[in-house]
Structures are given as C-alpha cells and as structure tokens.
C-alpha cells in the first residue's frame, strides 16, 4: 500500500523509469548513484513496488530491538552483527549467505555530500558473497530512474568497475567529484580492502 501511494506521488511529480529492470536474480546488490538527497529512500520504495523485487537495506543489529525490529523489517531492513571479530563487510556477506533470496541496496558514495572517491565495501560484499551488482541511476534533474547493467565481480576491480563508471557517466544527474575525475582522466582508482 505504501509503495502504491508513493508511486502515485512520484508519477504525479513526473518521475519515470528508463530501461528494463533486472528482476530474475535470486540475490543481488543494487548500486544506487548519485546519492544527493533524502528523497532517494522513497524513490527506492517506489522502485521495489513497481518492479516487484523486494529490495532491502542493511542496518546495525542494535536497531532491531524487540520493540523496533518490526518497523525496520517492514521497511526492508536486514540486521547485521558487527563485532570485534567480524568487520562490516564480512557481517553483510554472512547475512547474504544466510538467505536463499536477498536483494539489498547500497549507495557506494556513502553520503549525500560531494565525494571524491567511492567506498568499495559494496564490491567486496558482492565478490565474497558471489552475487552480482545491479546498477541504478537516479537523475534528480530529469526525474528519471535508469536501470543499468549487471556486473559479476571477478576480483579484477578496475576491469569490473569500468561499466559502472561508464554507466553513471551517462546519467544526466549532476556528477560528483569521483565521476568528474573519471570523465576528465578515464582512470579508475586502485582498489583498497574495505572494512
């Protein structure tokens, strides 16, 4: 019901989808860029309602108390337990492996600020969990959600990330610094192990 209401609002505001969504995968990380606004969350709720794929998100397990777990789960939250022996990437990989079907959204920019580099945890999660990355572009200027290619990480970061950088360079939304640098130089930063 919430997704339907949000969908009506977004269509009334002129938002539209570009390209066919990838809906056949049992597991995937949905990569969203650029992340400029808090409106990205309701847009995400609209997307999952329209395409029929329940795309969730990761949250700290401490949020999922007896009195609050229902709320975060209703929004699509998956609790991850990060402790001294388990870093965040490993905790997320474990959560993915524990589910037969799971789709989660990650914004690798990590913030609405104008960032110079992407966080690469999303890549390691997909690589270690052996699941694909599904790209989605949010164009706030033209009110378009563009469904992009699917990437199957191989461990060769710069080769794997080439279609990601190319896809987001094609989105009409204002690019952040990380993408401007790529457009100017054609270079993808070296990979660093994420925590």
Instruction: Say what percent of the chain tops pLDDT 90.
Output: 40
- Classify each residue of 125-140 as buried b or exposed e, where b means 16 or more C-beta atoms within 10 Å of its C-beta: bbbbbebbbbbbbbbb
pLDDT number for residue 88? 80
Residue 168 covered by a domain = yes
The pTM for the full model equals: 0.83
Query: What's the structural domain count of the chain?
Result: 1
Q: What mean pLDDT is predicted for residues 83-105?
A: 83
Residue 194 covered by a domain = no
Q: Is the pLDDT of residue 60 over 80?
A: no
Residue 40 covered by a domain = no
Confidence of residue 86 (pLDDT cuts 50, 70, 90): low
pLDDT number for residue 137? 92
Element spanning 6, H or E? helix 2-12
Q: Is the pLDDT of residue 77 over 80?
A: no
Residue 44 covered by a domain = no
Higher pLDDT, 175 or 39: 175
Residue 101 covered by a domain = yes
* Residues spanned by the domain of 179: 2-34+51-185
Residue 193 covered by a domain = no
Confidence of residue 14 (pLDDT cuts 50, 70, 90): low
| Cα distance between residue 145 and residue 17, in whole Å | 5
What are 79's two structure tokens? 């609790």
Residue 84 covered by a domain = yes
Confidence of residue 195 (pLDDT cuts 50, 70, 90): very low
State the pairing for strand pair 133-139/144-151.
Answer: antiparallel
């Amino acid at each position: 019901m919430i997704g339907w209401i949000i969908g009506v609002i977004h269509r009334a505001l002129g938002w539209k989808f570009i390209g066919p969504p990838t809906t056949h995968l049992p597991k995937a990380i949905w990569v969203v860029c650029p992340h400029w606004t808090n409106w990205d969350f309701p847009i995400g709720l609209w997307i999952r309602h329209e395409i029929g794929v329940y795309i969730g998100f990761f949250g700290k397990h401490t949020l999922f108390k007896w009195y609050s777990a229902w709320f975060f789960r209703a929004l699509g939250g998956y609790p991850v337990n990060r402790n001294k022996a388990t870093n965040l990437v490993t905790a997320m990989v474990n959560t993915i492996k524990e589910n037969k079907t799971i789709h989660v959204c990650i914004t690798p920019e990590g913030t609405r600020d104008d960032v110079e580099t992407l966080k690469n945890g999303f890549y390691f999660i997909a690589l270690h969990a052996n699941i694909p990355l599904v790209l989605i572009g949010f164009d706030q200027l033209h009110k378009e959600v563009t469904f992009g290619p699917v990437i199957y990480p191989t461990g060769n970061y710069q080769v794997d990330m080439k279609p990601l950088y190319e896809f987001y360079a094609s989105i009409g939304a204002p690019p952040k610094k990380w993408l401007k640098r790529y457009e100017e130089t054609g270079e993808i930063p070296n990979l660093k192990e994420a925590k």
